[in-house]
Amino acid sequence: IQNLGSSSTDTTYGFVACVIAVLFYGSYFVPVKTVDTGDGMFFQWICCSAIWFVGLVTDTLFRPSRAHPAAMLGGALWATGNITAVPVVKFIGLGLGILLWGSSGLLIGWASSR
């Protein structure tokens, strides 16, 4: 029998995480339009390092989990794919760049789960 208190807490954490993700997703690209980022490699390294660090802290605070090699491979592929983000945002703009980025990510995620 599952404890209803922990289920409610997990649901609350899930909704809070979704709200934070909705509010802040894509906002890290805003400085790309105003600052000369060169080829974008340093910017990409900082973004990936920050995302990794937030994931590490979150995982440590809430529920340490075991490593999943498939998830690590997916993260590595996502990080290498992000290298193209800075040139794309500079070329076609922030709104259209994020729209295409998110749409392709959703379609690829859906297709790979099928």
Please report the pLDDT score of residue 6 as a whole number.
59
Establish if 102 belongs to a structural domain.
Answer: yes
CA 112 to chain centre: 17
Establish if 58 belongs to a structural domain.
Answer: yes
Q: Which domain holds residue 65?
A: 30-113
pLDDT digits over 52-85, tens only? Answer: 888 888 888 877 777 777 777 777 777 666 667 7
Please report the pLDDT score of residue 76 as a whole number.
75
> Mutual orientation of helices 85-92 and 94-113 as an angle, nearest 10°?
130
Please give, one letter per residue, the 3-state secondary structure of the chain: CCCHHHHHHHHHHHHHHHHHHHHHCCHHHHHHHHCCCCCCHHHHHHHHHHHHHHHHHHHHHHCCCCCCHHHHHHHHHHHHHHHHHHHHHHHHCHHHHHHHHHHHHHHHHHHHHC
Establish if 24 belongs to a structural domain.
Answer: no
Establish if 12 belongs to a structural domain.
Answer: no
Establish if 8 belongs to a structural domain.
Answer: no
- Give the torsion sign (CA, 66, 107, 80, 30): negative
- Non-local CB neighbours of 113 within 8 Å, separated by 6+ positions: none
Establish if 109 belongs to a structural domain.
Answer: yes
Tally of domains in the chain: 1
Please report the pLDDT score of residue 1 as a whole number.
45
Establish if 35 belongs to a structural domain.
Answer: yes
Establish if 14 belongs to a structural domain.
Answer: no
> How does pLDDT run along the chain (114 residues), one tens digit per residue?
455 555 778 888 888 988 888 777 767 677 767 777 676 777 777 777 887 888 888 888 877 777 777 777 777 777 666 667 777 777 887 778 778 877 887 887 788 777
